[in-house]
Structure 1
Amino acid sequence: MPPPNLPPLPPPPPFFWGETPEEEYYKSQGVRNSKSYFQTPNGKIFTQSWLPLAEDQPVKASVFMTHGYGSDSSWCFQKICIAYAKWGYAVFAADLLGHGRSEGLHGYIGDMDKAAATSLSYFVSVRRSDQYCNLPAFLLGESMGGAITMLMYFQSDPGTWSGLIFTSPLFVIPEAMIPSKLHLTMYGLLFGLADTWAAMPDSRMVAKAIKDVEKLKIIAVNPKRYAGKPRVGTMREVVRVTNYLQNNFQKVTVPFFAAHGTADGLACHTGSEMLYEKAATPKEDKTLKLYEGMYHSLIQGEPDDAVDRVLADMKAWIDEKAKIFGSESNGN
């Protein structure tokens, strides 16, 4: 029993940065934010944008970002969104089906192709709009969002995307995280009835992702984070899709940047290495950055100096590519 008369734990702050109102915080970061819902054939999804604060500032390119498993676009994932907007990019993100404020059973993605198509429908609507159709456009995915981003790329018409950006993409599952075939087979014999069950073993995913303990405390209190055991259908799809992607990396032809920590306990860095080796993208347009000793969450969970290294590498890459593609778009 806990000792008597202990004061209650304080509630989590309203935002990952603390109590500062959103508009005031975004302004201090040099960006502006907007929120909306987007209706798709598969349900309504929650979307956000982050743009440079000055409305007359030219935008270099658009970047469409997808968060990882159990996460959403409204907590610490914003760090990467805000960074790109500060660099002069128009950033758009959507909560995946079953995540954050989007519709669907929390933590459940029983069809990853459908989840990809759902977010993609929003991204393409923005990408083809009058405001952005002539700018370079990039897809960015983190963790499981990296796998879903790759599915989006495969689902897109040729020429839609100027390039791909991956941070700790889930292309290869670590041995300790692979779901038991026995479990998946047994649940599969229940004719789909068990697909939504939160019944798969939980290997303490958050603790394996975050190196900085203080940042771990903030991420852990995200009110919209899915913190239950992995659902059967979600893990079945992760296994299926990672196998599919490994066998189709050769279909990637656009420039890409992949960042991965060598101590990642949730997504093997060998997946990023496999993409680099197999992709048909010309060698000069492939970039793989392996960060020695870094964990899974490169932007939200590493010490600040390590985060700055990763962001600097990302900025250098996209600034170069946006300049090249922007010149081509202008006929120069």
Structure 2
Amino acid sequence: MPHSLISTFRPPPLHPLRRRRSPGNSDFPTKSPNLKIMAKKKAIEGVSDQMNAIASQNLDHAPARRRVRLAFTQVQEQLDHVLFKMAPPGIRTEEWFEMNSKGQEIFCKSWLPKPGVRIKAAVCFVHGYGDTCTFFFEGIAKRIAASGYGVYAIDHPGFGLSEGLHGYVPNFNDIVDNVTEQYTKIKGRPEVRGMPRFLLGQSMGGAVALKVHLKEQREWDGVVLVAPMCKISEEMKPPEPLQKVLIFLSRLMPKAKLVPAKDLAELAFRDPQKRKLADYNVISYSDQTRLKTAVELLNATNELESQVEKVSSPLLILHGAADKVTDANISKFLYEKAASKDKTLKLYDGSYHCILEGESDERIFEVLDDITGWLDSHCSVR
């Protein structure tokens, strides 16, 4: 995920409840806080030593992640990626924090069409494991908003700019409940109140979106899933004896980073130039998976696998046919088993996991057009 070549920008401390609106770039103060450097990370090409030092902070806690994000915001916007270079102009954005029922500050963001364009519906995004809604999704959201949608996104607790230990999922249902809680508030915002509302879930976010739908069967007008993690294939699951060991260890040291993690950029991004930009997603969680997190992800997919026949929402599933991170056959499984009478499966030949970020420009626009076309047809049905 991307960033750029500004080497002199320094991050300020971020007031936890400060709002930022656009259009127009905010002017941030340039006084840097003391940086706590963690174990050396892979250097980001094209930025200064100072910026690499900023990116190498310990990101366990939200204040550090917020500082790093601010330092790299302008860098990201200048990256040589179609989502940034061809972002539609005039999109209105807003950022804010909401306190959830567990007392955590949750980062929220919206993208609205330019003034004078009628909003057709609300699209609520659910990001994947380790990710944030402030990087590539910025460009994705602007494209969807330019088609007449109010797009909303949140960072899950422990990820992105939201509070919580980085990469730690003590209970998968806490993520599901937080999504429900935050989007219940957002659906009441005056600009989209009473309008159709859709969930858009990517990768792990697809599993979260499905579980949200299953808890609120009548609350959503449709669910769009991009390379969803709704079942772990047998080839990817740890052997059963190892699963038992992981479960046991997760009770003793749940936050420990002991589950091996691969650099997934090569598997997720087919375009080698776009793959290089993954390093610029500086607040993503790319360390070894925490024990309890691994167990929660495994349990969530096992549970979801047993419930897919209850999925009743209008459904659009999009998946790269050559995806080695989440198996396209699992999307076929979901498509075949879901009870939804209105369901569509689109497989993209040769495409990898990140079909909205890591493919050719033409494929990225094709997938975005498939999403907005499906949304348009389901707004008119209502």
For the aligned pair, the TM-score class normalised by the smaller chain equals: 0.7 to 0.9
Out of 215-224 and 252-261, give the one that drifted further: 215-224
RMSD of aligned C-alpha atoms? 2.3
Deviation at 1:261, TM superposition (A): 0.7
Alignment of 1:192-203 (within 5 A): 192-203=251-262
CA distance in structure 1 between the aligned counterparts of 2:249 and 2:315, rounded to whole angstroms: 41
Which residue is 1:38 aligned to? 98
CA distance in structure 2 between the aligned counterparts of 1:27 and 1:290, rounded to whole angstroms: 25
Alignment of 1:17-96 (within 5 A): 17-18=77-78, 29-42=89-102, 43-54=104-115, 56-96=116-156
CA distance in structure 2 between the aligned counterparts of 1:249 and 1:175, rounded to whole angstroms: 17
What letter is aligned with 1:266? V
Deviation at 1:230, TM superposition (A): 1.2
Query: Which secondary structure state, in structure 2, belongs to the residue aligned with residue 77 of structure 1?
Result: helix
Deviation at 1:208, TM superposition (A): 1.2
Alignment of 1:288-327 (within 5 A): 288-325=345-382
Change beyond 3 A, Cα 1:27–1:9 = closer
Deviations 1:90-145 (A, max 9, x none): 00000011100111111111211111111221111111344423100000100001
Number of aligned residues: 312
Unpaired runs of 5+ in structure 1? Answer: 1-6, 326-332
Query: Which secondary structure state, in structure 2, belongs to the residue aligned with residue 189 of structure 1?
Result: helix
Q: Which among 265, 268, 274 is matched to residue 215 of structure 1? A: 274
Which residue is 2:221 aligned to? 162
CA contact (8 A) 1:197 1:232 kept: yes
CA contact (8 A) 1:52 1:85 kept: yes
Query: Which secondary structure state, in structure 1, belongs to the residue aligned with residue 210 of structure 2?
Result: helix
Taking structure 2 as the reference length, the TM-score comes to 0.76
Change beyond 3 A, Cα 1:288–1:187 = closer
Which residue is 2:308 aligned to? 249
CA distance in structure 2 between the aligned counterparts of 1:224 and 1:137, rounded to whole angstroms: 29
Which residue is 1:3 aligned to? none
Alignment of 1:277 with 2:333, yes or no, is no
Taking structure 1 as the reference length, the TM-score comes to 0.87
CA distance in structure 2 between the aligned counterparts of 1:272 and 1:177, rounded to whole angstroms: 15
Identity across the alignment (%):
31
Which residue is 2:26 aligned to? none
Alignment of 1:258 with 2:292, yes or no, is no
Change beyond 3 A, Cα 1:106–1:86 = same
Deviation at 1:190, TM superposition (A): 4.1
Query: Which secondary structure state, in structure 2, belongs to the residue aligned with residue 177 of structure 1?
Result: coil
CA contact (8 A) 1:210 1:301 kept: yes
What letter is aligned with 2:211? L
Query: Which secondary structure state, in structure 1, belongs to the residue aligned with residue 209 of structure 2?
Result: helix
CA contact (8 A) 1:68 1:144 kept: yes
Alignment of 1:267 with 2:343, yes or no, is no
CA distance in structure 2 between the aligned counterparts of 1:244 and 1:295, rounded to whole angstroms: 26
What letter is aligned with 2:108? T
Deviation at 1:275, TM superposition (A): 1.5
Change beyond 3 A, Cα 1:216–1:272 = same
Alignment of 1:2-21 (within 5 A): 10=48, 11=51, 13-14=72-73, 15-18=75-78
Unpaired runs of 5+ in structure 2? Answer: 1-44, 53-71
CA distance in structure 1 between the aligned counterparts of 2:316 and 2:88, rounded to whole angstroms: 29
CA contact (8 A) 2:322 2:349 kept: yes
Change beyond 3 A, Cα 1:130–1:159 = farther
What letter is aligned with 2:363? A
